[in-house]
Copies of this chain bind each other. A is one copy, B any other.
Amino acid sequence: MLYLIGLGLGDAKDITVKGLEVVKRCSRVYLEAYTSVLTVGKEALEEFYGRKLILADREEVEQKADNILKDADLSDVAFLVVGDPFGATTHSDLVLRAAKRGIPYRVIHNASIMNAVGCCGLQLYKFGETVSIVFWTDTWRPESFFDKVKKNRESGMHTLCLLDIKVKEQSLENLIKGRKIYEPPQYMSVNQAAQQLLEIVQNQRIRGEEPAITEETLCVGLARVGAEDQKIAAGTLQQMCTVDLGGPLHSLIITGGSMHPLEIEMLSLFPMPEDSSESQSIDGL
């Protein structure tokens, strides 16, 4: 049996009891290590599970999936995914390969950012299409995702923006020269995402288009959702450019404009950190 097991969003203890039991008894346990990360690393998971984990990078999963599936019809193999196994489409591919080989599979679900964002108080059913914001380079600065934000806002829907992760990527030079030297991991911050969004807004203005959002659009920045040190801040897109939410992973929500009173009240629990420190210093006078 192939088990696809979600690890949830925080640390080692966010695995389900059922998931942990399966991990402990599988013959091999893979850890998918390129679509998301927990607040703890592989070693902390190994210690908590009492099992050695095999890191599975993108190449392993997409091109060497047969290694993962080897003998999974005879013994149990676990494939661990941060969040829920079906957050990333790449894992459908693994399921399909298993099915083609007659290997049975089971999914042990867990929280993913797709549902855990509800913790900020915005209502889950009012989210439109989720978008991904990728790191811009000097030559590749895609803006097409912005159409989806526009469409969502026209329907009064919030947009969850998943922010880019670069893990085990090679520089262009190393790629060309075939050197297996990898760049340090990069995780897009809410600041970077907001700055890219504002640049798109500026570009649209230059082209005479009316942008779907402005500097003043209400957004929510989220960091390390589900972890003890989770941070959430509601504020304008402009404020998102500078808010300090700490380490990865970050996500950004662009609100849909019209809000339910309960949503507004919930967001008021998450003021910008600058505001709270100001009010603290006033309180302390």
Contact = CB atoms under 8 A, between A and B. Distances in A.
Given A89-B262, A95-B266, A262-B89, A114 B124 contact: yes
A27 interface: no
A111 B108 CA distance: 9
B6 A92 contact: no
A18 B15 CA distance: 8
Interface stretch (A55-63, A125-133, A187-195, A203-211): A125-133
Given A92-B266, A96-B266, A107-B119, A8 B13 contact: no
A158 to B, nearest CB: 10
A260 B157 CA distance: 23
Contacts of A108: 14, 226
Nearest to A17: B13
Contacts of A114: 114-115, 118, 124-125
A251 interface: no
A87 interface: yes
A9 B114 CA distance: 16
B118 A115 contact: no
B17 A15 contact: yes
Nearest to A155: B151
28 contacts: A8-B109, A8-B110, A9-B109, A12-B17, A13-B16, A13-B21, A14-B17, A16-B110, A86-B124, A89-B262, A92-B121, A92-B263, A95-B269, A96-B265, A96-B266, A99-B269, A107-B226, A109-B119, A109-B226, A110-B111, A111-B112, A125-B129, A125-B131, A125-B132, A127-B129, A128-B157, A129-B155, A151-B155
Interface of A: 6, 8-18, 20-21, 84-87, 89, 92-93, 95-96, 99, 107-112, 114-116, 118-119, 121, 123-132, 151, 155, 157, 225-226, 260, 262-263, 265-266, 269
Given A13-B16, A84-B115, A125-B129, 17 more contacts: A8-B110, A9-B109, A10-B18, A13-B21, A16-B16, A16-B17, A17-B17, A84-B118, A92-B266, A95-B266, A99-B269, A109-B115, A111-B112, A111-B115, A114-B115, A114-B118, A125-B131
